[in-house]
Amino acid sequence: MICAQKSKLPTFRNTGNPLVKDKFTADPAPLVYDGTLYLYVGRDEYYEGQDTAGGGKEFNITEWLCYSTKDMQTWTDHGSVLKPTDFKWGVGESWAAQVVEKDGKFYYYVTALAGEPYNSRVVGVAVSDSPTGPFTDPLGKPLVSDDMTDNGPRGWWNDIDPTALIDDNGQAWLCWGNGTCFLAKLKPNMIELDGEIQVIDMPRYVEGPWLSKRDGTYYLTYASFGKGKENIAYATAPSMEGPWTPKGELTGTAENSFTIHPGIVEFKGKWYLFYHNATLTLDGHKGAIGRRSVCVDELHYNSDGTMQRVEQTQQGVSTSR
């Protein structure tokens, strides 16, 4: 019997920002597990007519990709690990997502466009026994749908950009929202909300929340209104119950991109801020609102727990010059 060997996955070296240079990528979501950093991104894809589109149609994300590294320099490309059409209610468009691990299972919280009877952006969840999948839908329906939240005139895309965190008491939380920042507890099974949906009032909040914790302090980092474009701001709290105290801006706006999206993680003693800009040109197509590129720079903290402002660099965390 001849046993076929598993094809070796492609790798690349970090040569500075943008990190990924052979695809347009957006909405970075890092996860550290068992000595490896996994980076989940949405793949921005070009289509004819994209540059004149509006109302959210500028974005064309039909799959989520995964990359991994053990040293921030050599990265493995795991390719597509989940698509919105992997959900039976998904109709083929996706936005930001995040993976979290609990008890050896991996929960992928995603933004996707749902068909009948939802016809709106929703938050879904998929589960796997591996950080690289395969991921399957345990619910057969969205975790959060438009009938569960009220966002006034923003309507059908208030339920986007989920982020999740398990606090020091073992309680899991889900945060999401465009225009309004929603927060809810998750049941121990990680696939159902537990109790009422709360609203956190954050100054100039737009979208893209990210939950993290460090030395007993909880951080809510998010895309906020900047000077004509989004920048990154954050707030802190002594627990996920609050109160949340705004701390101001963490970054300026992203180069050539209206949007920006934080992803924060500690890896091997250093903290990193992942985000995206739109500086990459690929196949003759320049970066644009729907053709973005994931970047990473180091994140540092002051002695009082506040974050030091992050300057977005071309060097990134690469050792190349």
Work out whether strand 263-267 and strand 245-251 pair parallel, antiparallel, or are unpaired.
unpaired
Q: How far apart are CA 277 and CA 233, in angstroms?
A: 16
> Strand, helix or coil at 50?
helix
Burial of 77 (0-12, 13-18, 19+ CB in 10 A): middle
pLDDT at 227: 85
* CATH-assigned architecture of domain 11-47+58-299: 5 Propeller (2.115)
Q: How far apart are CA 86 and CA 32, in angstroms?
A: 25
Hey, where are the domains in the chain?
11-47+58-299
Q: Which two tokens stand for residue 105?
A: 């299972």
Q: What is the pLDDT along the chain (321 residues), one digit of tens a residue?
A: 344 445 799 999 999 999 999 999 999 999 999 999 999 999 999 999 999 999 889 999 999 999 999 999 999 999 999 999 999 999 988 999 999 999 999 999 999 999 999 988 999 999 999 999 999 999 999 999 988 997 655 556 899 999 999 999 999 999 999 999 999 999 999 999 999 999 999 999 999 999 999 999 999 999 999 889 999 999 999 999 999 999 999 999 999 999 999 999 999 999 999 999 999 999 999 999 999 999 999 999 999 999 999 999 999 998 754
Query: Where do we find the tokens 């691990």?
Result: 101
SS in 3 state form for 142-196?
CCECHHHCCCHHHHHHCCCCCEEEECCCCCEEEEECCCCEEEEEECCCCCCEEEE
pLDDT at 151: 64
